Structure 1
Amino acid sequence: MDLSILIVSYNTCRLTLDCLQSVYDSRTVYTYEVIVVDNASSDDSVEVIARDYPQVTLVKNSTNTGFAKANNQAMAIAKGRYVLLLNSDTIVQPDTFQTMISYMDEHLDLGATGCKVILPDGSLDKACKRGFPTPSASFYYAFGFSKLFPDNPRFNQYQLGYLDPNDTYPVDCLVGAFMLVRQETIAQIGGLDETFFMYGEDIDWCYRIKQAGWGIQYYPETYIVHYKGASSRRKPFKIIYEFHRAMWVFHRKHFKKNYSWLTNTAVFCGIGLKFTLSLLKNRLLPSGAGRPVTPRPEQAGANMEVKR
């Protein structure tokens, strides 16, 4: 088996079905399996996926175990030379698997790769190529310096906005919505850290991959579409809480020992302040939003070139 595609599902039946359809519409010479872990969805995800895609290995959890633990469950039974973390709210292109696996086979020093990730409006999902969220990188990002000076590497350490999204280069972090990882790398560093419930586990995994000496590459020769939550949609408290808790966990785990107590205090206070402001802002947003429309390839290319 060449590829194990891991998808975590939680009350996203329609999105998951669309994702699975795009997977099975792929054109590739490589063999693959699909493992879906359902985190106790209250909709009819389990029944419909089992009915429409009987070839899928379906793991049914009795509780919502979180993104990291659910993916680790799938990794434990994965047979592929490569493991792909793939969000249920994504659409892959017909050439995505062929392109990415071929690239990994040609670059044996790489532990993980990610392709270009675009949003439904055709713009780049900036999380698909990032630097590590060091205190300085986080400061420049949180206080808007990266937007004021988009071409300055010093102020764009996190989202790497000064780098052309159509070029190939090494990065620190990929996004968990699409991350192709070598099995040998996983055997060396282990799976996702289950301390992270649904955010931050991808950055932590990338940090450990690089610490172990493996390369991480951004490779935009293909792309996927990522349906992220619309900015106008009010988010549940747990989403906001876990997002900010992940920042705290990551800094404490990897960076705290490298910085003074003053810097660490500033970081933790900054996380607390951002959490409070996010809660206040969230209360002012409308409670619902419709699903955006998938862009056609020519629409996706309107805002940025998709290289072939």
Structure 2
Amino acid sequence: MKVDAHMTPGDVVGLVLHFRTPQRTLSCLDSLRREGITEVVIVDNSQDGGDSVLAMTLGIKALSERGMRATVLPQERNLGFAAGVNVGIRHIISEYSADVLLINSDATLGSGALAAMRQLLPDATLVAPYASAADGGQLQSPLVFYQKYLALYLRRPVLGSINYPSGSCLLVRRDYVRTDIFDDEFFFYGEDVMLGHRITEGDDVFRDCPSATIVHGGSVSSKNGSRFYEYHMNRAHWLLARKLAANHLERFVCVFLRCITLPLRALVRSFRWRSLTPLIGLGWATSDVLRGRYRDLTPPVAR
């Protein structure tokens, strides 16, 4: 493992997945710079021939002049969230020995957030800040729950639920920076649930930090109600049924109950959106999981 000569043991490397939002990504990077982060790795998942990264050239140059060094890792296709993060982590491990701040490109770090989160690192493997939407609203804890039998995302724990940290912003202690931090069988959803499950099953700890905040916008690639969203959300639910089950009986229960809850969810969403897309997404996801395949459904580039 190499360490940059100008880095100190207390440094943090930023890791950002970029997807076709140059201005949002630059705003995210600038918020990291204001918090004292001078090294950042950008994984380009845009699948647009490098156009959106090219649009950031002047912005990245301006950040460089203000002390931030950005390394862009272009990808030929959209790898998805989990695999994209793992690509960035592999690069960081090869170049640095540092804590890693993973943050969505549509999020900005609040003033003092990094310092507040780092105060908790000695006693936690992962630390996550509170988040608010770009249009305001109440701050939300990053710690949420997944009911593994009914495939429900919840704000409060119930029987059979798994606590996990939202992946929109995570500060990862350097001894937990690993190339398989996320299960890359998941394309865009579910990997954070698996991360929480793995941590709670082991000796590691994750914590939220109420004194640290981010402002989190909406992702263009995962628009609620889109075919991309419906397909990958349902696919994640089916994968979680297999991966979270402790034995064959529990797996049967998870699958059986999903045969009820997922179609009901799709029907409600189809009615709400007045579209067959949720039902189509469920059908495709179910078929593909049974056949052991997947489709990324990355939206085409708008010209």
Q: What's the TM-score once normalised by structure 2's chain length?
A: 0.73
Q: Does the residue aligned with 1:70 lie in a helix, a strand or coil?
A: helix
Question: Larger relative CO (CA 8 A, sep 6+): 1 or 2?
Answer: 1
Residue type at the aligned position of 1:222 = A
* Other structure's SS at 1:53 match: helix
Matched, 1:226 2:216: yes
Alignment correspondent of 2:32: 23
Once the two structures are overlaid, the 10-residue window that deviates more, 194-203 or 265-274, is: 265-274
2:67 aligned with 1:53, yes or no? no
Contact persistence 2:18–2:44 (CA under 8 A): yes
Asked if structure 1 preserves the Cα contact closer than 8 Å seen for 2:23 and 2:56, the reply is no
Q: Structure 1 residue 247: deviation in Å?
A: 1.6
After the TM superposition, which of the residue ranges 217-226 and 271-280 deviates more from structure 2? 271-280
Change (3 A) 1:91 1:263: closer
Aligned to 1:296: none
Structure 2 unaligned spans of 5+ = 1-6, 62-68, 277-303
Please tell me whether the aligned partners of residues 33 and 56 of structure 1 are also in contact (alpha carbons under 8 angstroms).
yes
**In 2, Cα distance between the equivalents of 1:114 and 1:244?**
26
Paired residue type of 1:95: G
Q: Cα RMSD over matched residues? A: 3.0
Percent identical pairs in the alignment equals 24
Give the match for residue 63 of structure 1.
77
Task: Give the TM-score, by structure 1 length.
Answer: 0.72
| Native 8 Å contact 2:45 2:80 kept in 1 | yes
Q: What is the Cα deviation at residue 116 of structure 1?
A: 0.7
Alignment counterpart, residue 189 of structure 2, candidates 199, 205, 211 = 199
How far 1:120 moved relative to its partner?
Answer: 2.2
Change (3 A) 1:276 1:63: farther
Q: Where do 5+ consecutive residues of structure 1 fail to align? A: 159-170, 286-308
Q: Secondary structure at the match of 2:208?
A: strand
How far 1:263 sits from its partner (Å)?
5.0
Go from structure 1 to structure 2 and tell me whether the alpha carbon gap of 1:14 and 1:59 turns closer, same or farther (over 3 Å shift).
same
Cα deviation per residue 1:239-284 (whole Å; 9 max; x = unaligned)?
Answer: 2110121122112101262626345301343124323433443345
**Deviation string, structure 1 residues 24-76 (Cα, Å, up to 9, x no partner):** 122x4xx6421111113438321133332142110111111111111111000
CA distance in 1, matches of 2:80, 2:245: 24
Change (3 A) 1:234 1:215: closer
Q: Which has the higher strand share?
A: 2
2:121 equivalent in structure 1: 104
The CA distance in 2 between the partners of 1:212 and 1:246, in whole Å, is 22
Flag the 1:96–1:41 CA change in 2: closer, same or farther, 3 A.
farther
Shift of 1:215: 0.8
CA contact under 8 A between 2:238 and 2:255: conserved in structure 1?
Answer: no
